[in-house]
Amino acid sequence: MLEFAGTFGDNGLDLCFIDMVSPAEWKNKIEDKLVDYNEKAFIDDKKKLNLFVVLRLEPTEDEIDDIGYIRGHINEFMNFYYTIIREIKESE
């Protein structure tokens, strides 16, 4: 299960997610599929959690404080991520 963990970022806006369920062995398979997303998304290896996923956005000045903009990206990305996980499960 993917959970939204918060935001941070000096260069744009990073939306952070934690996947505590998927095995760490799936990291490369997940990363291979994340490149197809329309924004930059990657797994941060520096975190001690199973999978710490970052979605890096580059919002305009108006978008950065717009909760609807952020919420929309969270929902869209989570749906995309669940599709990835479902595809990996079906291929195993």
Side by side, the strands of the sheet bearing 51-57 are: 2-8, 13-19, 51-57, 40-43
| C-alpha gyration radius of the chain | 13
Classify residue 74 as exposed, middle or buried by CB count within 10 Å of its CB (0-12, 13-18, 19+): middle
40's tokens: 């930059």
Expressed as residue numbers, the domain containing 10 is: 2-91
Q: What's the domain count of the chain?
A: 1
Instruction: Kindly state the helix (H) or strand (E) to which residue 63 belongs, with its residue range.
Output: helix 61-64
> What pLDDT tens digit does each residue of the chain (92 aa) get?
899 998 887 667 899 999 989 998 999 999 999 999 999 999 998 766 689 999 999 888 888 888 899 999 999 999 999 999 999 999 98
